[in-house]
Amino acid sequence: QVQLVESGGGLVQPGGSLRLSCAASRSIFSINEMGWYRQAPGKERELVATVTSGGSTNYADSVKGRSTISRDNAKNTMYLQMNSLKPEDTAVYYCNAYYGLRLYWGQGTQVTVSS
């Protein structure tokens, strides 16, 4: 079994920043791709960003230029730095990772952008 635990969410004003963390209970060294997704109320879960073991990144157009995804294999942790936050970024943010053929998800962390 693998556990992914997100943290770092909270309430932030528009224009503010947050750094989300996703800590894995097992080594992430061999995981090719990890990702962040989000789900707003009444909407489907959508991709935010992914990062490969080689450091290649991919971002949704809605967060491109405002967010940076990274991973620290030594700490078994993936991060999502989000800047210039907008009210439409409000959602529950989830991380995921494949271990073998099985996809694991974290429990999510709430991000609320509001004045």
56-82 per-position pLDDT tens digit: 999 999 999 999 999 999 999 999 999
User: In sequence order, what E strands does 1-115 have?
Assistant: 4-7, 10-12, 18-24, 33-39, 46-52, 57-59, 67-72, 77-82, 91-99, 102-105, 109-113
**38: phi then psi, degrees, rounded to nearest 5:** -145, 155
Q: What is the mean pLDDT of the chain?
A: 96
Please report the pLDDT score of residue 1 as a whole number.
83
* pLDDT of 113 above 90: yes
Please report the pLDDT score of residue 48 as a whole number.
98
Read off the pLDDT of residues 86-108 as tens digits, 9 standing for 90 and up: 999 999 999 999 888 899 999 99
